[in-house]
Structure 1
């Protein structure tokens, strides 16, 4: 009978009994929460900059002028990326909740979300950056 050294024996890999531990589904869960917070912060800033119009039209014009810079343009790309990702992934989550085969098709649906997100972002980024070039 062959024997192995104790150093060669690897402990068994732990089995997770929940859906969100590790892997792509966990990262989709994290991305959903992060994108939701990004959108929330944007909405707060958007309300605040619109309130400057009540204080002073000149101040409002100055704020709007700063939004026409390349850095803010890149930030707007990030915002649209967060909104599209949040929306597409939200639809996936609804399907997971209400479709009996949702969990077993979760990885496929996540890849569909990623492909749709990329297909939507490419023309937006090209069009949006054309204003700055």
Structure 2
């Protein structure tokens, strides 16, 4: 017992880790924060490069041209994946917060979010990378 009379929690385990560290809920929290920060930095960069059109249309065209390569296309797929996860998980977080049974079903909802994410990202990856892969292997 601690001095305040509450039981100590050290050594409390759940699923192989401590109560919070390493649990699926913690990783969804971490992924939500990372995808939010990545989305913010994309939007910040997007505003800056779009603002170039007012300063110098030629500079804007040059910047946009640098985006037309396979690496940037792969980053775009990552961006779509990050935004999609962030949006779906945000809905889950709202349900956990505002639905009286949300906490009870939060793990099921997380698995649902991940399943929907995979189902959407598989064709999304294909359609976003189709032209890049075709160009790389010498297709049309």
TM-score by length of 2: 0.80
Q: CA deviation at 1:13?
A: 3.9
Counterpart of 1:117 in structure 2 is: 117
Divergent runs of 4+, >6 A: none
Larger radius of gyration: 1
Per-residue Cα deviation, 1:1-33 (whole angstroms, up to 9, x for no partner): xxxxxxxxxxx94158xxx81311001111111
Q: How does 1:33-112 map to 2 (within 5 A)?
A: 33-112=33-112
Q: How many residues align?
A: 119
Any stretches of 5+ residues in structure 2 without a counterpart? 1-9, 135-140
Give the secondary-structure state (helix, strand or coil) at the position aligned to 2:24. Answer: helix
- Of structures 1 and 2, the one scoring higher in RCO (CA 8 A, sep 6+) is 1
Is residue 21 from structure 1 mapped to residue 47 from structure 2 by the alignment?
Answer: no
Distance in 1 between residues matched to 2:126 and 2:115, nearest whole Å: 17
RMSD of Structure 2 on Structure 1 (CA): 1.7
Q: CA deviation at 1:101?
A: 1.6
TM-score by length of 1: 0.84
Per-residue Cα deviation, 1:61-105 (whole angstroms, up to 9, x for no partner): 111111110010011011101100000000000110112221121
Give the secondary-structure state (helix, strand or coil) at the position aligned to 2:71. Answer: helix
Any stretches of 5+ residues in structure 1 without a counterpart? 1-11
Give the secondary-structure state (helix, strand or coil) at the position aligned to 2:131. Answer: coil
